[in-house]
Every structure is written in structure tokens, then in C-alpha cells.
Amino acid sequence: MASLPPSLRDTLAYFAKYNYPLTAEELWFWQHGTNYSKKFIERCALSTAGWQLRRQREQFSKKKWLIARQVGESLKRFPSIAAVYITGALAMNNCPADDDIDIMIITSPNALWVTRFFVVLYLKLLGIRRHPVSAFRQPITENRTCDNLWLDTSHLTIQPSSHNALYLAHEILQAKVLWDRASIHQQFLHSNSWVKNFLPVAYSQSLGQLEIRSIRSINPIFYVLNIIFFIPQYLYMLPKMSSEKVGLGFAFFHPTKPST
């Protein structure tokens, strides 16, 4: 059996933080910064530890996927939504039983805050949206949706920093599309091509045949409406904000814990 090169050891160590052992094929796909062949990796000795927990979490994730797909289908009624993704632990089928369901929503240009207002209201009325963290109560997270990342199609690039670039590269490439009206996923990957510096195999395999289409705002009046809807939502969130980043075309509501 071949010994593992440093980049492959680093890859296994990254996933070990999330109790997620890898098969040889997964190690080939997610390898950090290198492009070793499948045949080479298949000859390497991989640990057999941790698989019981991974299988258990796969079972927990099955129920959450049913909920996620139902929520995704219901969001099709919003014409300003261009694409809906599942992110975080569920995207890797690695959810603990009490985990929530992380969702990324991409809207038409200049429609993010109008759309968010009505989507949040809709999810609250359905009783399936996770409550924000509060000093007065513990939020119910199990099987609740958490729309913690919003982008519009003019702001698809997620800028990394020096301390979280590898984590963001994983998050971008592991995101799973629930539905996509206009090949937004290809645009999303193309807009975040920086991830190939960290995960070259995963990026090239995920990209496939690049096909870029444009999606326009439903109505020019959305530009004004977006500002009008942004201001009160921003003022409401401002006292509670810590690491969150928001703007007219993006909103990153970071969870308190990282996920695979």
C-alpha cells in the first residue's frame, strides 16, 4: 500500500473535523491542491474508523432531504427566485438528528430584499423556519429551514479571506441544487473559479460543460423596491449583527458552528 502524500493527509484531516471519513473516490474528488489519480489513491491505505457515525447521519439526513425538497418545490411560486440550494451538513448527508436545513437562495438582480421579505414571511407562516438566536429562548433547530445565504445573480462571487478560503471552497462545491431556472449553477461556479486553487479536481468535475444564460430583473421598478425593502430589514437586523455581511445584492447570515 502506498503512503499518503501530505495533501491527501490534509484532506482527510479536514473531513475528520466533521467526523466524515472518505472513500478512495471521495478522497480523489476532494483532494486539496493536487491532482493525484484515482488509481494512485486506491493503492493508499485509508482508515476504516468513523463509518458507523457517518452511516447514522446519512439516515438522519434522509428525512431532512424530504423536507428540503418539499420546501424547495414550494419556493417555485416566487418568480424572482432564480435558484435554490441546500448547503452545509445536509449537502454532504452528514446531519446530526437535531440539525437544521441550510438553504441558499439566489434571486433575480435587484430583487433580493423584496423576495426575502415575502419568503421569510411565508416560511414563518408554514412554521418551518428556524427562529433566530435569542437571549430569551433556545431556538428550535431540528428539521427547521435556515435561509442563511442570499445572493442575486449580479453578486454570485463569494470573496474568501485568508482564514476561511478552504472552508468556503468546500461550501461552494458541496452545495446541492434543488432547482435552477436559468443555468445559475454554472454561472455560480464560473464566478467562484478561485476555488480551483484549493480543490482542483472537485472544481473541474463539478463545472462540466459551462453554459451561461442571462436572467433579468422581472421589472425595473424592482431596483427601487429592493432599496425600500432593504432599509427596514437592515435596521431590524443591525443591533443583532456580528459577523454577518449584507448588501443590496447579498446577505451572509453565518451559522454559529461550521458544517461539512
Q: Are residues 107 and 218 both part of a single domain?
A: yes
Q: Are residues 95 and 41 both part of a single domain?
A: no
Helix extents (H) in 75-197: 88-91, 112-126, 165-174, 184-191
Asked if the structure places residue 68 within a domain, the reply is yes
Of 108, 56, 105, 119, which Cα lies nearest the Cα of 220?
108
Q: Are residues 75 and 163 both part of a single domain?
A: yes
**Highest mean pLDDT: which range of 64-78, 123-137, 152-166:** 64-78
The boundaries of the domain holding residue 35 are: 1-49
Residues with Cβ within 8 Å of 182's Cβ and at least 6 positions away in sequence, in order, are 82, 83, 213, 214, 215
Of 167, 154, 147, which Cα lies nearest the Cα of 233?
147
Asked if the structure places residue 111 within a domain, the reply is yes
DSSP 213-244: -----S-THHHHHHHHHHHHHHHHHGGG-SS-
Cell of 223: 431596483
Asked if the structure places residue 28 within a domain, the reply is yes
pLDDT per residue as tens digits for the range 197-221: 999 999 999 987 555 555 555 567 7
CATH number reported for the structural domain that contains residue 75 in this entry: 3.30.460.10
Q: Are residues 17 and 69 both part of a single domain?
A: no
pLDDT per residue as tens digits for the range 3-53: 789 999 999 999 999 999 999 999 999 999 999 999 999 888 787 888 999
Asked if the structure places residue 107 within a domain, the reply is yes
Q: Are residues 44 and 64 both part of a single domain?
A: no
Asked if the structure places residue 260 within a domain, the reply is no
Q: Are residues 45 and 101 both part of a single domain?
A: no
Q: Are residues 181 and 147 both part of a single domain?
A: yes
- At residue 75 the predicted structure's pLDDT band, cuts being 50, 70 and 90, is very high
Q: Are residues 88 and 146 both part of a single domain?
A: yes
What single letter denotes the amino acid at residue 147?
D
Asked if the structure places residue 3 within a domain, the reply is yes
Asked if the structure places residue 257 within a domain, the reply is no
Q: Are residues 18 and 136 both part of a single domain?
A: no
Q: Are residues 92 and 138 both part of a single domain?
A: yes
Count structural domains, the chain: 2
Q: Where are the beta strands (DSSP E) in 75-210?
A: 81-86, 101-107, 145-152, 176-180
Which pLDDT belongs to residue 133? 57
Q: Are residues 92 and 38 both part of a single domain?
A: no
Which pLDDT belongs to residue 259? 46
DSSP code at position 104: E
Which pLDDT belongs to residue 256? 45
Q: Are residues 29 and 128 both part of a single domain?
A: no
Asked if the structure places residue 151 within a domain, the reply is yes
- At residue 140 the predicted structure's pLDDT band, cuts being 50, 70 and 90, is low
pTM of the predicted model as reported, rounded to 2 decimal places: 0.85
